[in-house]
């Protein structure tokens, strides 16, 4: 969480910092701030809340930084201390000469604070970051060398950080470093950009260098120097970023979320190209680096993920077990990392993450890697920290996802799981030829089926508006679509703040049914197949308790009209592929309810897209 930016060059810095922060708002929006080197001294501007508040502050002080060409900026997701101006970054030392921005958590900040206060430091905020500002300032007093001061200070830090630092005495120097938090340096002509993530720099340059943990970069207008943790110069690896700035526009949609929902058919087509050639030929998945014999012998897989990626993982489990007969465990990364997990070199561990930066999942895969497991990463960010840990890297290629609520990355993760499961099934010979063929052939039809759904989205909008004022919402499903129910509920919760829950329909009668009355909407994900009749009975049971019944179905049975007050019809599809279709109307329901209620769809309260703290 939190995003940091920095710039040193010859352009007007404030616009670059604010533009960069606007591209990083998905990482938090509790407060924002910048520090700029002016002709006299460094000046700091901060505001509580969204970036637009900082922009208003900056407007009032425009004349103070008209010529400034060096600065740092921050967008905050509060961890230590309330989201207010005092706790907003940049933070300074007592004399105000040193300023820093920080993404991460300093775990030993309390101990550091005691030591620094004993030396005379006066803390003004409740943040962990301020301890780092004082610490570097003391090291600078001793060394008179900002790079060295940062190096020495970071050796005393426990936890995670990406830092960008400036000092009044160093008018042509910007220092950045990181450990367990993302950071990259964009390289221009006599200018450098620092950012937590690509979108902040891609409008300016495609040349960039990713920092590794404990490396320190020293930037001046003419030069970049890179050092290891011993302070020794090391070679720089500048690469060309595979991103286009155009991906970040709303392209006429009211919100990024709606745009990203509409991108899903093309995202799927994109993934299938080069991997699924035809129903008769074998899946190509060169990204999987396990040899065929090892795959054949594999009898245990663990999948670890958080949030929406966890729901994709649950469907991954269902299809891998079904197609390949391999036992799969799925666990939330935040649970996996704090227990004695049984993982070894015979276990394939799959990490799933849109961002590739989620701290819990990153820690989990590092733990599994240390125990000798082969690590397969399914991510939308092939340039992420998780990708760098991967033995096998399966990029989902959904394109940059801006909306905090994940949509297209979820569908892309599902498609990647289908390809992986089919690929393994072909190697193991665990599925009938005819079944394989029909799955592959219908997978290629999914994009147009989703387009069909999107073409009548107004019906879904009507349904959403009808239920928009409810306090609670229940989603039920069985079998392969139980995770769809969980994901539908998560989407609604996170953007509309309605108390939504997904249940396996068979569990209703074991407790949740007590909550049902005429005020409770219950949405049944009623896809044809092995559990259709069972789910229909569960829906009858809910109806008998007067719940407001909604069906999401590919059945055209007239009987459904007696049971459900709203029916959302989706194109027909075989059960094993149905999660790819069923999720789309649920994304739209969540979107239209939140939009109707006037919520901040793309940046819901309290959330951040990239959760880089445990
Ligand atoms: C998705 O809508 C959520 N915002 C959130 O649950 C997310 O899926 C979770 O934080 C995991 O993120 P990752 O996929 O980037 O690891």
pLDDT in tens, 48-86: 999 999 999 999 999 999 999 999 999 998 888 888 999
- The pLDDT tens digits of the residues spanning 305-319 come to 999 999 999 999 999
Is there a catalytic annotation at residue 2? yes
pLDDT of residue 398: 94
Q: Which phi and psi angles does 160 have, rounded to 5°? A: -120, 140
pLDDT of residue 112: 96
Ligand 1 neighbourhood includes 307 CB (under 6 angstroms):
yes
Atom of ligand 1 nearest to the CA of 404: 4
Ligand 1 neighbourhood includes 182 CB (under 6 angstroms):
no
Measured in Å, residue 42 CA sits from the centre of ligand 1 at 37
Atom of ligand 1 nearest to the CA of 305: 16
3-state DSSP assignment of residue 402: coil
Is 164:134 a contact under the CB 8 Å cutoff?
Answer: no
Ligand 1 neighbourhood includes 406 CB (under 6 angstroms):
yes
Ligand 1 neighbourhood includes 361 CB (under 6 angstroms):
yes
Say yes or no to pLDDT of 610 above 80.
no
Q: Which of 113, 259, 543, 609 is catalytic?
A: 609
For the entire predicted model, the pTM comes to 0.84
pLDDT of residue 250: 86
How far is CA 534 from its chain centroid? 35
Measured in Å, residue 488 CA sits from the centre of ligand 1 at 14
- The pLDDT tens digits of the residues spanning 546-568 come to 999 999 999 999 999 999 999 99
Say yes or no to pLDDT of 608 above 90.
no
Nearest CA to ligand 1 atom 6: 307
pLDDT of residue 248: 65
pLDDT of residue 128: 93
Q: Which of 2, 93, 324, 463 is catalytic?
A: 2
Measured in Å, residue 265 CA sits from the centre of ligand 1 at 21
pLDDT of residue 344: 85
Say yes or no to pLDDT of 118 above 80.
yes
pLDDT of residue 482: 98
Contacts of 325 (CB under 8 A, 6+ apart): 428, 430
Measured in Å, residue 78 CA sits from the centre of ligand 1 at 18
How far is CA 69 from its chain centroid? 32
Ligand 1 neighbourhood includes 309 CB (under 6 angstroms):
yes
Atom of ligand 1 nearest to the CA of 309: 14
pLDDT of residue 524: 98
Contacts made by residues 291-295, CB under 8 angstroms, sequence distance 24+? 292/427, 294/374, 295/424, 295/427, 295/428
- The pLDDT tens digits of the residues spanning 193-224 come to 999 998 899 999 999 999 999 999 999 999 99
Say yes or no to pLDDT of 331 above 60.
yes
Of the given ranges (177-186, 248-257, 602-611), which has the lowest mean pLDDT?
602-611
Contacts of 578 (CB under 8 A, 6+ apart): 480, 481, 527, 529, 554
- The pLDDT tens digits of the residues spanning 234-244 come to 999 999 987 77
pLDDT of residue 247: 56
pLDDT of residue 607: 84
pLDDT of residue 349: 97
Domains of the chain: 3-247 (3.60.20.10), 264-444 (3.40.50.10490), 451-614 (3.40.50.10490)
3-state DSSP assignment of residue 252: coil
- CA 155, CA 141: separation in Å to the nearest integer? 17
Measured in Å, residue 266 CA sits from the centre of ligand 1 at 21
Confidence band of 606 (pLDDT split at 50, 70, 90): confident
Ligand 1 neighbourhood includes 404 CB (under 6 angstroms):
yes
- The pLDDT tens digits of the residues spanning 250-309 come to 889 999 999 999 999 999 999 999 999 999 999 999 999 999 999 999 989 999 999 999
Q: Which among 263, 573, 582, 284 has a CA at the least distance from the CA of 441? A: 573
Atom of ligand 1 nearest to the CA of 407: 2
109-124: average pLDDT: 95
- CA 54, CA 349: separation in Å to the nearest integer? 43
Say yes or no to pLDDT of 443 above 70.
yes
What rounded mean pLDDT belongs to the chain?
94
Ligand 1 neighbourhood includes 405 CB (under 6 angstroms):
yes
173-178: average pLDDT: 98
Nearest CA to ligand 1 atom 7: 307
Is there a catalytic annotation at residue 324? no
Ligand 1 neighbourhood includes 587 CB (under 6 angstroms):
no
- The pLDDT tens digits of the residues spanning 333-346 come to 999 998 988 888 88
Report which secondary-structure segment, H or E, holds 351: strand 348-353
Whole-number percent of the chain with pLDDT over 90: 87
Ligand 1 neighbourhood includes 308 CB (under 6 angstroms):
yes
- CA 347, CA 351: separation in Å to the nearest integer? 13
Ligand 1 neighbourhood includes 283 CB (under 6 angstroms):
no
- The pLDDT tens digits of the residues spanning 457-476 come to 999 999 999 999 999 999 99
């Amino acid at each position: 969480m939190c995003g940091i930016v920095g710039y040193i060059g010859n352009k007007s810095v404030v616009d670059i910092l604010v533009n960069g922060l606007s591209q990083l708002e998905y990482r938090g929006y509790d407060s924002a701030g910048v520090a700029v080197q002016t002709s006299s001294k460094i000046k700091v501007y901060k505001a509580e809340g969204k970036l637009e508040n900082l922009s208003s502050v900056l407007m009032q002080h425009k004349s103070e930084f008209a010529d400034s060409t060096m600065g740092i900026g921050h967008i905050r997701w509060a961890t230590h201390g309330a989201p207010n101006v005092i706790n907003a970054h940049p933070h300074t030392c007592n004399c105000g000469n040193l300023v820093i921005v920080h993404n991460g958590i300093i775990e030993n900040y309390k101990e550091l604070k005691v030591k620094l206060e004993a030396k005379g430091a006066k803390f003004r905020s409740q943040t962990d970051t301020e301890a780092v500002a004082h610490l570097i300032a003391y090291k600078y007093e001793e060394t008179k060398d900002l790079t060295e001061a940062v190096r020495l200070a970071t050796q005393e830090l426990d936890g995670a950080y990406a830092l960008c630092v400036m000092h009044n005495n160093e008018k042509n120097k910007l220092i950045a470093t990181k450990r367990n938090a993302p950071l990259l340096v964009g390289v221009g002509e006599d200018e450098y950009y620092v950012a937590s993530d690509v979108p902040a720099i891609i409008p300016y340059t495609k040349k960039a260098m990713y920092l590794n943990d404990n490396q320190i970069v020293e930037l001046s207008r003419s030069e970049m120097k890179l050092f290891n943790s011993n302070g020794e110069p090391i070679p720089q690896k500048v690469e060309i970023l595979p991103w286009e700035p155009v991906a970040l526009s709303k392209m006429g949609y009211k919100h990024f979320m709606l745009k990203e929902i509409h991108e899903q058919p093309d995202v799927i087509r994109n993934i299938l190209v080069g991997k699924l050639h035809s129903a008769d030929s074998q899946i190509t998945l060169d990204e999987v680096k396990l040899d065929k014999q090892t795959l054949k012998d594999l009898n245990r897989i663990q999948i670890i993920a958080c949030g929406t990626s966890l729901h994709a993982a649950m469907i991954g489990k269902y299809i891998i077990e079904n197609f390949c007969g391999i036992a799969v465990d799925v666990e939330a990364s935040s649970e996996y990392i704090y227990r004695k997990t049984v993982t070894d070199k015979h276990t394939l561990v799959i990490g799933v993450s849109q961002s590739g930066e989620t701290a819990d999942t990153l820690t989990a895969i590092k733990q599994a890697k240390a125990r000798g497991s082969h690590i397969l990463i399914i991510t939308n960010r092939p340039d992420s920290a998780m990708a760098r840990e991967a033995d096998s890297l399966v990029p989902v290629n959904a394109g940059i996802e801006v909306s905090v609520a994940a949509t297209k990355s979820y569908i892309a993760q599902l498609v990647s799981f289908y390809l992986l499961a089919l690929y393994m099934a072909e190697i193991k010979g665990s599925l009938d030829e005819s079944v394989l063929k029909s799955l592959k052939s219908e997978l290629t039809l999914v994009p147009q089926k989703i387009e069909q759904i999107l073409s009548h989205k107004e019906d879904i909008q009507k349904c959403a508006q009808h239920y928009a004022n409810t306090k609670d919402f229940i989603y039920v499903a069985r079998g392969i679509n139980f995770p769809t129910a969980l994901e539908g509920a998560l989407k609604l919760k996170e953007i509309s703040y309605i108390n939504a829950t997904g249940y396996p329909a068979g569990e209703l009668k074991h407790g949740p049914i007590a909550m049902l009355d005429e005020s409770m909407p219950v949405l049944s994900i009623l896809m044809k197949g092995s559990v259709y009749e069972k789910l229909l009975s569960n829906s009858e049971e809910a109806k008998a308790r007067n719940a407001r019944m909604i069906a999401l179905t590919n059945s055209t049975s007239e009987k459904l009209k007696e049971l459900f007050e709203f029916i959302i019809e989706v194109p027909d599809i075989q059960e094993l592929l149905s999660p790819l279709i069923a999720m789309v109307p649920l994304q739209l329901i969540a979107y239209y309810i939140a939009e109707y209620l006037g919520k901040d769809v793309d940046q819901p309260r309290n959330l951040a897209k990239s959760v880089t703290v445990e």
